[in-house]
Amino acid sequence: MAQPTALIIEANRDAQEAMAAALKDHGYPVLTASTASEGLALLTSLRPQIVLLDLDLPGTDTFELLGQMRVEGGDAAVLGLSRVQEPHFVVRAMRAGATDFVPKPSTAAALQGAVRAALARVEPTPMPDLGASAAAEADRFWPDLDLLFKNSEKMRAVENIVRRAADTNATIIIQGESGTGKEMVAKAVHFISDRRDKPFLKVNCASLPGELLESELFGHEKGAFTGAHRRKPGKFELAHRGTFMLDEIGEMPLGLQAKLLHVLQDGKFFRVGGTELIDTDVRLIAASNRDLAALVAAGQFREDLYYRLNVVTIVVPPLRDRSEEIPLLVSHFLRKFCLQYEREAPRISPETMGLLREYAWPGNVRELENMIKRLVVLQNEALIRDEIILRRSRGPVGAPQHPRSSHPAVPTPQPQAPPTILDTSLGLKEIAKRAAMEAEKTVLKEVLDRVRWNRAEAARLLKISYKALLYKITAAGLDAKGDRLGQRN
């Protein structure tokens, strides 16, 4: 059998090279990365079996990164390496998801030994090829159904529908504002259904351009397009006998909607560039934070597909309509983040709890979760209180004062003070171009912050395509604004 591939994530070039040499000596193919984002990209695209992660990576919350790797990295073993060797640090690393810990600096022999031991521990039971990759991509997260369903009348009503629909194969549409828990509800359907031992897979239709989305859904054959170096099964195939969630389905291009409709009607499809008809048995759940019926009316979503999908509709209510859940969610997130960050639970005064309960939470449970995370990390209740008051005064992101409008207004760029010293050597054209770029950046940033970096929503507000938005974010240097791990999942 081929040697497992190792991924080294280490900022220091010399250390990186020494580690790579030690592993190559023992025949492991080695990939290297110097930053967290580079490492994550290699982890998800090339699926190495073992990762050696420098826990001292500058500017990175490596504990959070470890958690992310657990989710994205399938069964990969992750060795944490650090100069810090206090027991509580090591314990934290293991809790966050490290398979083992290696003190730095380490000798080649120690490293080789640790890699061998970690691989032996996670050595998977042999599975057929497709099954193995499905297992690697599947989400094994088991939702806490009591926390999700038992704490408000509105969510008990949702549970009712979930339980009735779960054991049928009915296609489900889940609608609800961003961050309300649509994905959690989808997972609840899966775990209540008798498909629970099979994969739960998800694709976000807003995250990929059309051709790549098609290949992500249906797979492709080797050579189907430039860059298709080998055959790749699609998620429809990998989710066989399990549940497949199509998130942000409102963003799916019309052409692909037609193909999806055919697949739903026949239960069969071709991989991109393929001739073999693939049979698949999946339970489909489509989710959207946009009103699909309105998209149909606007001609942006196929009516026939909408009716084919819409066997059961579940609407997840916004958090402000079930605010009795807030204290319980707060305790849950406090527990979760205190454990994760090994902090004492901060006290929350009745006044702050009152603010938390009354605030309209336009970003719903996700916004609350992030707020509590900040409280645990900063241990400063006053900051949280000020932040809620500020957010409240800044007005709604489509929620409290205008409960019917789900679309926040696009800010008009505020007139900027002219630059004090005009560099006339640039010429009028260049000056105008730069000013326009600055103004564009201001608006981009403002809109992205308002919609909590929901890029699909931002693109819609700005009336540009999703792809154009991604391009503009990069051009404006906004994606380099630090590590946004954990903001979105």
User: CA 109 from chain center: how many Å?
Assistant: 37
From the list ligand ATP, Mg ion, none, partner contacted by residue 178 (C-beta under 5 to 8 A by kind): ligand ATP
* CB 391, min distance to ligand ATP, A: 17
The pairing of beta strand 219-220 with beta strand 232-233 = antiparallel
From the list Mg ion, ligand ATP, none, partner contacted by residue 179 (C-beta under 5 to 8 A by kind): ligand ATP
Give the Cα separation of 158 and 151 in Å (integer). Answer: 12
The residue number with the shortest CB distance to ligand ATP is: 181
When the beta carbons of 10 and 183 are compared against Mg ion, the nearer one is: 183
* CB 250, min distance to ligand ATP, A: 11
Q: From 75, 117, 114, 82, select the one nearest 97 (Cα to Cα).
A: 75
Q: How many CB atoms lie within 10 A of CB 142?
A: 11
* CB 247, min distance to Mg ion, A: 5
Interaction between residue 73 and ligand ATP (CB under 6 A) = no
Give the Cα separation of 109 and 115 in Å (integer). Answer: 10
* CB 489, min distance to ligand ATP, A: 5
Choose, by CB under 6 A, the member of 152, 171, 178, 406 that binds ligand ATP.
Answer: 178
When the beta carbons of 183 and 325 are compared against Mg ion, the nearer one is: 183
When the beta carbons of 481 and 488 are compared against ligand ATP, the nearer one is: 488
Kindly indicate which of the ranges 65-73, 107-115, 172-180, 423-431 contains the residues binding ligand ATP, using the contact rule CB under 6 A: 172-180
Q: Which two tokens stand for residue 310?
A: 């819409």
Q: Which of residues 350-369 bind ligand ATP (CB under 6 A)?
A: 365-366, 369
Q: Which of residues 131-160 bind ligand ATP (CB under 6 A)?
A: 147-148
Choose, by CB under 6 A, the member of 183, 214, 216, 251 that binds ligand ATP.
Answer: 183
Q: Which of residues 280-309 bind ligand ATP (CB under 6 A)?
A: 289
- The site string for ligand ATP over 190-219 (x = CB under 6 A, - otherwise) reads ------------------------------
Kindly indicate which of the ranges 86-94, 165-173, 182-190, 469-477 contains the residues binding ligand ATP, using the contact rule CB under 6 A: 182-190
Interaction between residue 181 and ligand ATP (CB under 6 A) = yes
Residue numbers of the site for Mg ion (CB under 5 A)?
183
Choose, by CB under 6 A, the member of 73, 97, 176, 398 that binds ligand ATP.
Answer: 176
From the list ligand ATP, Mg ion, none, partner contacted by residue 289 (C-beta under 5 to 8 A by kind): ligand ATP
When the beta carbons of 93 and 155 are compared against Mg ion, the nearer one is: 155
* CB 318, min distance to Mg ion, A: 14
From the list ligand ATP, Mg ion, none, partner contacted by residue 376 (C-beta under 5 to 8 A by kind): none
Three-class HEC string of the chain: CCCCCEEEECCCHHHHHHHHHHHHHCCCCEEEECCHHHHHHHHHHHCCCEEEEECCCCCCCHHHHHHHHHHHCCCCEEEEEECCCCHHHHHHHHHHCCCEEEECCCCHHHHHHHHHHHHHHHCCCCCCHHHHHHHHHCCCCCCCHHHHHCCCHHHHHHHHHHHHHHCCCCCEEEECCCCCCHHHHHHHHHHHCCCCCCCEEEEECCCCCHHHHHHHHHEECCCCCCCCCCCEECHHHHCCCCEEEEECHHHCCHHHHHHHHHHHHHCEEECECCCCEEECCCEEEEEECCCHHHHHHCCCCCHHHHHHHCCEEEECCCHHHHHHHHHHHHHHHHHHHHHHHCCCCCCCCHHHHHHHHHCCCCCHHHHHHHHHHHHHHHCCHHHHHHHHHHHHHCCCCCCCCCCCCCCCCCCCCCCCCCCCCCCHHHHHHHHHHHHHHHHHHHHHHHHHHHCCCCHHHHHHHHCCCHHHHHHHHHHCCHHHCCCCECCEC
Give the Cα separation of 5 and 181 in Å (integer). Answer: 36
When the beta carbons of 219 and 317 are compared against ligand ATP, the nearer one is: 317
From the list Mg ion, ligand ATP, none, partner contacted by residue 489 (C-beta under 5 to 8 A by kind): ligand ATP
From the list Mg ion, ligand ATP, none, partner contacted by residue 369 (C-beta under 5 to 8 A by kind): ligand ATP
* CB 483, min distance to ligand ATP, A: 17
How many binding residues for ligand ATP (CB under 6 A)? 17
CB 314 within 8 A of CB 166: no
From the list Mg ion, ligand ATP, none, partner contacted by residue 47 (C-beta under 5 to 8 A by kind): none
Interaction between residue 398 and ligand ATP (CB under 6 A) = no
* CB 148, min distance to ligand ATP, A: 4
* CB 68, min distance to Mg ion, A: 16
User: CA 63 from chain center: how many Å?
Assistant: 17
**Contact positions vs ligand ATP (CB under 6 A):** 147-148, 176, 178-184, 289, 329, 332, 365-366, 369, 489
